[in-house]
Structure formats: structure tokens, C-alpha cells
Amino acid sequence: MSKKTSGKVYLVGAGPGEPGLLTLRAAAVLQRADVVLHDALVGPGVMALIPDGAEVVDVGKRSGDHAVSQGEINERLVRHAREGKAVVRLKGGDPFVFGRGGEEAEALADAGIEFEVVPGVTSAVAVPAYAGIPVTHRDMASAFQVITGHAADDTQHGIDWGAVARAPGTKVVLMCVERIASVAEGLVAGGMPPTTPAAVIRSGTTASQEVLVSTLGKVGADVKRQGLSAPALAVIGDVVRLRGKLDWWSRRPLSGQRVAVTRTREQASGLAQRLGDLGAEVLEVPTIRIERPSAIDPLLEAVLGIGEYDWLVFTSANGVTAFLDVFLKAFNDLRSLGNVRIAAVGPATAARVKERGLAVDVMPERYVAKEVAKALAEHETVENLRYLLLRAESANPDLPALLEEMGGIVDDVACYRTVPEEGGTAAAAALMESGADWLTFTSSSTVDNFHRRMDLPSFLARHPGTRIASIGPETSKALHLLGIKPTVEARRHDIDGLLEALVAAAPEGR
Ligand code: SAH
């Protein structure tokens, strides 16, 4: 059997920016990458998916005073593969559409390196689609051309814009922002009416998407006036008119907002999905992880003595899961809980209790010690009753103190602990680099650990204008301790409340 010593290179399309447009194959090979060489065009949401431990090389950036040349990139690909590594060459859009992927594949073939091409969603089609412009339409365009605007000023190797103008269908011009005026002139000289609709779209599919609608005659001046910069592409043809009716992007409440999600990886996906459905570009930067408490004995003792308690009090969904996992390991049967009453603070906690097949007797809306104690007292006089509080390690002491003052007998038991997430380095770097419109904090520990990792005040100094959404008073308190006032605090202290607050604060009519 021959032993494989050589690695493999994956030429991967990262799509136009929005991480949801990354293909399943791209996500899978990215997960296994040892080295990732990426372009400047790859969006932060995709960068965030790079696994911990992978070496990340930005070959789009100018290093020192010279850009990393194509020759150097080819050499690096070959070298890393010969070291036996899984190498991902990550490129914006599709690797073979104006991405020089063809040249890289040739270099690999010449060097005898195994490679695979993972096509990507090209900006040529996806970016117009996000602007509400279909590149073909039965009544308007039965063909589309994708052309580079890069060579527009180069008369020797230039494109025959007359021939482009005469060909039927929509024209999509990439790399054109500086040369849009000469491209438009060439097309008009080639016979296209100056009244032909033309749109220029910048940073399509991302939260920074900008769309300018004009005509061939005016587009050069309009782009200059608006100061549109790269990356942008132009769409020219009658299909541009459809945008008036088909602009679905601007209609979503959170389009144009990049939102960072800081809760645990397990919890992030639910929130991320709902934010995505509302149109936000989501960056998952987990700051915390849930682990067993440092001392498990008090929890085991409480579980084994469960019959002594009158009340179980849960203050978080994590607490419910952590407690029941241990409880069921010990008893294998929910009926062993007996007649104990259950309090769940907040709708998310209550939902988790119900998910696990138990009813909730009291649900105080907010996690404020006074309100929780009051709700419990309204249900049943506290005096001489036994309460088992199932909370996080080092939780706020107010609630047990208050219940004891009221004559209750309280065991405050840690059933999980929140520890800083050390992984997710690519996501943290992407956030640090590109910032976000919103940072969302769903607990005081997300605040503390974000701060520990990224220094919140200096993050805000580096990215002024970042807005902060807090899920409730405890989380806001942690922000205040850092001298930061949240832009919004959710009125309901759950994910629905947080989403409502973000939608209410979104700018109207982009
Ligand atoms: N391989 C890429 C294209 C690389 S050329 C693809 O298939 O999409 C780079 C050009 O792509 C940019 O100059 C711009 O014209 C276009 N482009 C890439 N991403 C874009 C985006 N999000 N919005 C607008 N144009 C984009």
C-alpha cells in the first residue's frame, strides 16, 4: 500500500459575502483546513467559520509595500501541499470567474499536486439578485454576459465594447467601479441607447450593500457623485427596471445590519437563524461555554435529597438542562421528583422546563430578586418552606438572601458554570477587523468574557457607532460596570424581546 505524503489543495469559492451563500461542500472542506489562504473579498461571516488551529494567510492584502504576487501564491499552495497539509484557497464568489483560479489550478497540475475545485456562488448573478435584479427574464433578456471592466482603458488588450454592445441580453461588468464611465461610453459608442437602465451595486449580499440605479448616459457621473468604491459591479439592461418591484432585500427589517452574537455556540445558532430571517448579516462570536460546576458534590447531594424540597427554582434554560441531566442519571425517572413545585424565571427557562416534560407552577417574568421572591410568596407563604435554587456557579446572592429573610430554607446549588470560550479565534479576529452594527449581549457573562477577550471600551473606540443590545437589567448592569450604556435593553428578557428591540431601533427606509 502506498503511503500518502502529499496534501491537497481545495480551490474554494466563498460566495459573494453573505455566509449563508457558502456551499455545503465549501463549509465541509473549510472545517478540515490546515492552512487557509484567502482574498480580501472573503466576508467576515465566512472567515468566522475557519476552524481553530488553522493557519490563516491573507494573500489579498498588501504585505509590506507589494501585493502578494500570483507567482508567490502559487508557490505557497504547492509548498503547503507538499508539507502534507489540507490547503484551502478561499476566493470571493466563484474561483474560476475572474478569480485566477484557473492559473492556480494549472500551477498545481504542473507540480503534480492533487486538487479539487469547489465552485462558489458568483457575485455576477447573486449580487444582482440581492438587489432585486434577475439577470435574465423571458420578456427582457434571454442572455447575459459577464465582462471584466478591468481592461476598459487598455486599448491593446482591451475588450471590444462595440461587440459587447451589439450582443443581446444583460451585461454584468465586474471590477468596473473606477472605469464605469469609460465602460458606459464604449457601450453607447457601440450603439446602446444612453437611456439604457444601469445599476451599480457595492458590497452586494452583505450588510453594507448599496445600490445605485441610473442609465448608461449618467452612470459615470452618478457613481462619482455618490463616491461608490470597490467591490462593486454594474448590471446593464432592461432587467434593472424590475428592481422597483422585486427589491426584496430592503424590505426585511434588519437588512443592512451586521449583528454579532456572543452567546455560547450551542445557543447562538437559534438566535443567528432568527436574525438571518429578519435580514441581518450575522457574525457568531461565542464568548462563553457551559461546563459542569467546579464542585459537583453539592448538586449530587441535592439531587439525592430531592424529596426534602418544596420548590425547585430555575433561573436559566442552561440550569434546567444541567440539573435534569444529572437528575435523570441518578433516578432514570422524572416521577422521582415527587410533588415538588417548580418556578422558572422568564419564558425561555419555562420553555425549557416544559420541553423536558414538566409543568411550571410559577413563572416570574424578570430575573430581579425582589420580583422572583414576590411571585413565590404570592403562590405560597415562604416561611419554613425548602427551596432548591439551581443556578450558575457564582450567581448573584440577592435571591437566596431575600428568601432566607422571608423565612425560607434555601440551598443555592451551582449546576453549571460559564467559562470563557477560548476557541473561535477566526470569528473574534473577523469581528475585531470589520466591526459590527450591533453587539448583542444575552447575559452578564457574555459581557464580561467579551470584555476579557476584546476589551469592550477599546473595541468601541476602534469601531465608533457600534450599537449595543442588552437582554435585560443584569446584562445592562455588567455593561454599566464597564462604563458603557447599552443602546437598547429588551423589554422582554428573552430572545423575542431582544429581536423586537433590534427591529424597533433599525433605521427606517434605506
Ligand atoms: N470570483 C469572483 C469575482 C472576482 S473579481 C466572483 O465570482 O464573484 C472581483 C470583482 O467581483 C469585484 O471587483 C466586483 O466587481 C465583484 N464582486 C465580488 N463580490 C462582490 C460584492 N459582494 N458586491 C459587488 N461586487 C462584487
Catalytic site residue from 8, 39, 437, 454: 39
C-alpha of 140 from chain center: 36
H-helix or E-strand spanning residue 200: strand 197-202
H-type alpha helices, 206-253 = 219-226, 243-246
User: If one looks up domain 298-404 in CATH, what number appears?
Assistant: 3.40.50.10090
Q: Please tell me the predicted confidence (pLDDT) of residue 365.
A: 84
The per-residue pLDDT string of the chain (510 residues; one tens digit each, 9 = 90 and over) reads 444 567 999 999 999 999 999 999 999 999 999 999 999 889 888 998 999 999 999 998 655 556 789 999 999 999 999 999 999 999 999 999 998 999 999 999 999 999 999 999 999 999 999 999 999 999 999 999 999 998 655 554 578 999 999 999 999 999 999 999 999 999 999 999 999 999 999 999 999 999 999 999 999 999 999 999 999 999 999 999 999 999 999 999 999 999 999 998 877 778 999 999 999 999 999 999 999 999 999 999 999 999 999 999 999 999 999 999 999 999 999 999 999 999 999 888 999 999 999 999 999 988 888 999 999 999 999 999 999 999 999 888 999 999 999 999 999 999 999 899 988 888 899 999 999 999 999 989 899 999 999 999 999 999 999 999 999 998 999 999 999 999 999 998 888 999 999 999 987 644
* DSSP SS3 for 56: strand
Domain ranges of the chain: 4-120, 125-249, 258-287+421-504, 298-404
With a CB cutoff of 8 Å and minimum separation 6, the contacts of 194 are: 188, 215, 216, 217, 218
Asked whether the beta carbons of 154 and 219 are under 8 A apart, the reply is no
Residue of 135, 217, 230, 214 whose CA lies nearest to 178: 230
The set of protein residues with a Cβ atom below 6 angstroms from ligand 1 is 16-17, 41, 91-94, 97-99, 122-124, 127, 174-175, 201-205, 230-233
Q: Please tell me the predicted confidence (pLDDT) of residue 268.
A: 79
Pick the CATH number of 4-120 from 3.40.1010.10, 1.10.1740.10, 3.30.1360.120, 3.90.930.12: 3.40.1010.10
Q: Is 175 a catalytic residue?
A: yes
Catalytic site residue from 85, 91, 171, 175: 175
Q: Please tell me the predicted confidence (pLDDT) of residue 66.
A: 63
Q: Please tell me the predicted confidence (pLDDT) of residue 59.
A: 92
* DSSP SS3 for 13: strand
Instruction: Find the 149 Cα to ligand 1 centroid distance in Å.
Output: 11
Query: Under CATH, which architecture does the 258-287+421-504 domain have?
Result: 3-Layer(aba) Sandwich (3.40)
- Residue 396 identity: N
Distance CA 299, CA 312 (A): 13
CATH superfamily for domain 125-249: Tetrapyrrole methylase, C-terminal domain (3.30.950.10)
With a CB cutoff of 8 Å and minimum separation 6, the contacts of 100 are: 70
Phi, psi of 448 (to 5 degrees): -60, -40
Residue of 199, 211, 175, 203 whose CA lies nearest to 281: 203
Q: In Å, how far are 135, 144, 500, 502 from 140, measured between CA atoms?
A: 9, 11, 40, 39
DSSP state of 2: P
Asked whether the beta carbons of 486 and 479 are under 8 A apart, the reply is yes
- Residue 79 identity: R
Instruction: Find the 100 Cα to ligand 1 centroid distance in Å.
Output: 13
Is the CA virtual torsion 486, 488, 489, 495 positive or negative?
negative
Strand 62-63 versus strand 66-67 pairing type: antiparallel
H-type alpha helices, 238-316 = 243-246, 265-277, 297-304
H-helix or E-strand spanning residue 172: strand 170-174
Distance CA 439, CA 505 (A): 13
How many residues are there in the chain? 510
Instruction: Find the 49 Cα to ligand 1 centroid distance in Å.
Output: 20
Q: In Å, how far are 55, 178, 317, 416, 418 from 290, measured between CA atoms?
A: 27, 50, 11, 7, 5
Q: Is 61 a catalytic residue?
A: yes
Bridge partners for 290 per DSSP = 418
Residue-wise burial string across 342-357, b where 16 or more C-beta atoms lie within 10 A, e elsewhere: bbbbbbbbbbbbeeee
Mutate to test the pocket of ligand 1, among 22, 41, 89, 258 (most ligand atoms within 8 A of CB): 41
With a CB cutoff of 8 Å and minimum separation 6, the contacts of 112 are: none
Instruction: Find the 175 Cα to ligand 1 centroid distance in Å.
Output: 7
Mutate to test the pocket of ligand 1, among 174, 205, 210, 281 (most ligand atoms within 8 A of CB): 174
Same fold, 258-287+421-504 and 298-404: yes
C-alpha of 363 from chain center: 32
H-type alpha helices, 380-467 = 398-405, 425-434, 444-454, 456-462
What's 16-52 look like in SS3? CCCHHHCCHHHHHHHHCCCEEEECCCCCHHHHCCCCC
H-helix or E-strand spanning residue 128: helix 123-130
Q: Please tell me the predicted confidence (pLDDT) of residue 159.
A: 87
